[in-house]
Amino acid sequence: MADIMRVEWSKDLVIGIQEIDDQHRQIVDYINLLIDSRGNDDRKVTEEVISELIAYTVSHFGFEESLMEKAEYAYISPHKRIHRLFEKRVREYADRFVNGEDVAEELIEMLHRWLITHIRSEDKDYGALVISSLDANPERERFLKKSFGRFFGDRGKGA
């Protein structure tokens, strides 16, 4: 088992939208939980972390896409396509894991690489437009709360 370093949150991962940044931090926390669970002999723990990571990430993508739609982000279609491909890829890893393969290390490396690249490039690209759209919306807090509830339900922030 290779020594995989935990993912560290850094300023270059900040988009500038508090709700999105909080969600990205939570995804980093899930990746770190997955890293920590590798040494655990109980595969059930790793399976639960993978399952929670997938569910949270799918909710995050929905929330993020709702903000992009509201801001009329020009590249929303390709961004959504990237999200769907990522979801498919992670679910394939989860299926392989459930079927007995030891994919944790491979999954962690992919998640780490993908998350950092995706936030620094694709997510940073929509940030300014969404921020200005939110700032121009007098119903900002209500809209964010409603959107958050629609995608995260009872999970709350920092689930």
pLDDT tens readout for residues 28-59 = 999 998 888 877 767 888 888 889 989 999 99
- Residue 157 banded pLDDT, cuts 50, 70, 90: very low
Residue 25 has pLDDT above 50, yes or no: yes
Residue 11: CB atoms within 10 Å: 5
Does residue 62 fall inside a structural domain? yes
Does residue 44 fall inside a structural domain? yes
Does residue 128 fall inside a structural domain? yes
Domain that holds residue 138: 16-152
Flag the least confident range among 16-25, 93-102, 143-152. 143-152
Does residue 7 fall inside a structural domain? no
Does residue 119 fall inside a structural domain? yes
Does residue 74 fall inside a structural domain? yes
Which phi-psi region, left, alpha or beta, contains residue 58 (left: φ > 0; alpha: ψ -120 to 50)? alpha
Question: For 107-112, which contacts have Cβ atoms below 8 Å and span 24 or more sequence positions?
Answer: 107/34, 107/50, 108/4, 108/31, 108/34, 108/35, 108/38, 109/4, 111/31, 111/34, 111/53, 112/4, 112/7, 112/31
Tally the domains of the chain: 1
At residue 158, the pLDDT reads 44
DSSP state of 38: T
- Residue 154 banded pLDDT, cuts 50, 70, 90: low
Does residue 5 fall inside a structural domain? no
* Higher-confidence position of 23 and 104: 23
Question: Is 56:159 a contact under the CB 8 Å cutoff?
Answer: yes
- The radius of gyration of the chain's CA atoms, rounded to the nearest angstrom, is 16
- Residue 159 banded pLDDT, cuts 50, 70, 90: very low
Does residue 146 fall inside a structural domain? yes
Output the domain CATH number for residue 61.
Answer: 1.20.120.50
**Dihedral of alpha carbons 56, 62, 64, 67, sign:** negative
